[in-house]
Chains A and B, each alone.
Chain A
Amino acid sequence: MDNKKIFMLVLFALVFGTCLLFLIPTQKYNQGHYDEMQEINRGKASKVAFLTTISFLGIYFVYDYIWGDTFIRLSSSLLAIISIVLGITVDISYSIWNHAYIQVNQKGTGVFILYGSIAFINLAAFALDLDELPLAIENGILQCNSPIVQLAMALVYGITPVVFFARKAMDKWEN
């Protein structure tokens, strides 16, 4: 087993261990629920995320049909990753912005600090795994290599604390 694989295993164990560390004590606090306004906003978040993903795929389909042969195309894996990241990020960000992510009587600060840590670890894994470029064009198709998954994870986990703390700052300013 080479050093890189050992490092990745250690990094995975670190992330998993950190999550487990927070999971056990939060079980006690995870008996909450969402109130009626939060349920409505969560439904809206799902709709917005769905529409965003479908719009992106629709726009890409049109681009691919008209200019796909002239310019570059996205590989199927890259397209899937972008769609998933877009959908999840929009859903979570909309929920957080409309106070529908954290359950009633729960505090969210610790969770989002954890998310930020996970984003940082994934970003570090992405940066350290950069033997080759994460994106490459082969036969007119933009391909992605495995480190792009770490970047996608870093993006998803990184955006959520930014939105959370921005919303908190805005609420303080409004009040």
Chain B
Amino acid sequence: MKNLRLKSARAAKDLSQEDLAKLCDVSRQTISAIEKGDYNPTIKLCIAICKALDKTLDELFWE
């Protein structure tokens, strides 16, 4: 399932997938896969993404 909240949070911060990937120390394709819903990140990566976007886990990843 697509993660549109992540995508919109990233857009709100005016970050490209590449920028967010660099902040979280992962590849751009990983961020793309998470947004498309093709990959479920580990909690460690979820936390890293939340810190980069100044959001909570609930706001980005929980149903």
Residues in A lying within 8 Å of B, measured CB to CB? 35-38, 99, 104-105
Question: In the complex, how many residues of chain B place their beta carbon closer than 8 angstroms to a beta carbon of chain A?
Answer: 13
A-B contact pairs, 10 of them (CB 8 A): A35-B26, A35-B27, A35-B45, A36-B26, A37-B29, A37-B33, A38-B30, A104-B21, A104-B27, A105-B22
Q: How many A-B contacts are there with CB distance less than 8 Å? A: 27
Contact with A along B1-35 (1 / 0, CB 8 A): 00000000000000000000110011101100100
A5 to chain B, nearest CB (A): 45
List of B residues within 8 angstroms of A38 by Cβ: 27, 30
Complex: A155 Cα to B29 Cα, angstroms: 27
List of A residues within 8 angstroms of B29 by Cβ: 37, 99
B35 to chain A, nearest CB (A): 12
CB closest chain-B residue, reference A99: B29
List of B residues within 8 angstroms of A35 by Cβ: 25-27, 30, 45
Query: Which 5 residue pairs spanning A and B have beta carbons closest together?
Result: A35-B26, A99-B29, A37-B30, A104-B27, A37-B39
